[in-house]
């Protein structure tokens, strides 16, 4: 059961207006095992971003980012929507709020707002035959997501998670470019690692096929801590 397209506008308006309804009218579902949603839940990531250009050596920056689930409210249809807060660490126990998005689920989908657009982040059932359009509720054009490595162990940084699933949002590579967006989720935890790459390779005769990067950037986020 998804959210009708006409409800998209209502959801975004409700995020701004925060029009709440009595609890008896809320539409709630059992939490998804690979992305449990609960107010107070937080995850901290070490984010490493590398920028490439021909004019200088690769530039790498690191940051510690906290994602935390805030209060919930109901949209116009009674759907429970949770605020998703992002903060950057600037010292010991010093966090600065950078941005706020939202996340919610239906009986068979997990939705999130990213860069102002609604994304279908996960779709049930979680198996390697399931393929869905992550952009089904926005106007960015079809983007086919799929999963792999279902219920497989994965070590993110120093932490070993016994059951994870990998969501491939994009993985397009040619001799001249790479576009990659891969997310790994752990059962009972949520997102534990994310890798995004937008790279352009040298394509002149003397460097073609050698993987030399002309420009672009890559970013990897790895879980460091989580709890509630």
Q: Identify the pLDDT of residue 11.
A: 46
Contact present, 212 and 204 (Cβ < 8 Å): no
Confidence tier at 209 by pLDDT (50, 70, 90): low
- In angstroms, the CA 86 to CA 60 distance is 21
181 and 169 Cβ atoms separated by less than 8 Å: yes
Q: How far apart are the first and last CA of the chain?
A: 29
Can you read off the two tokens belonging to residue 24? Answer: 């008896």
Q: What is the pLDDT of residues 149-164, one digit of tens each?
A: 999 999 999 999 999 9
Burial 80-111 (b: 16+ CB within 10 A, else e): bbbbbbbbebeeeeebeeeeebbbbbbeebbb
Asked whether 50 and 196 are in contact (CB, 8 A), the reply is no
Six token digits for residue 180: 């990659």
* Model pLDDT, residue 106: 92
SS3 content of the chain, % helix, strand, coil (to 5): 5, 60, 35
In the prediction, which pLDDT does 26 show? 53
Residues ≥6 apart with Cβ < 8 Å to 76: 7, 10, 11, 13, 14, 19
Per-residue pLDDT at 28: 55
Contact 186, 161 (CB under 8 A): yes
Query: Looking at per-residue confidence, does 127 or 18 come out higher?
Result: 127
Asked if the model's pLDDT at residue 202 lies above 90, the reply is no
Instruction: Give the whole-angstrom CA distance, residue 131 versus residue 79.
Output: 24
The winner for highest mean pLDDT among 16-20, 31-35, 90-94 is 31-35
Chain segment 21-44, per-residue pLDDT in tens: 444 455 555 558 999 999 999 999
Separation of alpha carbons 31 and 33, rounded Å: 6
pLDDT score recorded for residue 55? 86
Query: Does 69 score more than 50 pLDDT?
Result: yes
- Lowest mean pLDDT of 3-7, 96-100, 182-186, 224-228, name the range: 3-7
Beta bridge partner(s), residue 66: 44, 87
Shortest CA distance to 183 belongs to which of 200, 164, 202?
Answer: 164
């Amino acid at each position: 059961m998804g959210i009708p397209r006409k409800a998209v506008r209502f959801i975004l308006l409700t995020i701004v207006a925060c029009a709440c309804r009595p609890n008896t009218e809320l539409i709630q579902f059992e939490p998804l095992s690979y992305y449990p949603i609960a107010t107070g839940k937080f995850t901290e990531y070490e984010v490493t971003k590398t920028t490439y250009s021909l004019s200088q050596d690769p530039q790498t920056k690191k940051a510690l980012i906290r994602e935390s689930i805030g209060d919930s409210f109901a949209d116009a249809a009674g759907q429970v929507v949770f605020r998703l807060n992002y903060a950057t660490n600037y010292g010991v126990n010093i966090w600065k709020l950078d941005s706020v998005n939202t996340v919610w689920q239906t009986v068979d989908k997990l939705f999130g707002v990213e860069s102002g657009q609604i994304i279908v982040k996960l779709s049930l059932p979680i198996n390697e035959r399931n393929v869905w359009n992550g952009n089904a509720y926005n106007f960015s054009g079809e983007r086919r997501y799929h999963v792999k490595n279902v219920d497989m162990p994965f070590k993110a940084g120093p932490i070993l998670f016994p059951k994870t699933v990998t969501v491939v949002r994009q993985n397009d590579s040619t001799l001249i470019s790479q576009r990659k967006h891969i997310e790994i989720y752990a059962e009972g935890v949520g997102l534990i690692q994310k890798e995004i790459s937008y790279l352009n390779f040298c394509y002149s005769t003397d460097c073609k096929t050698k993987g030399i990067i002309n420009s672009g950037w890559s970013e990897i986020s790895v879980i460091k801590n989580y709890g509630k």
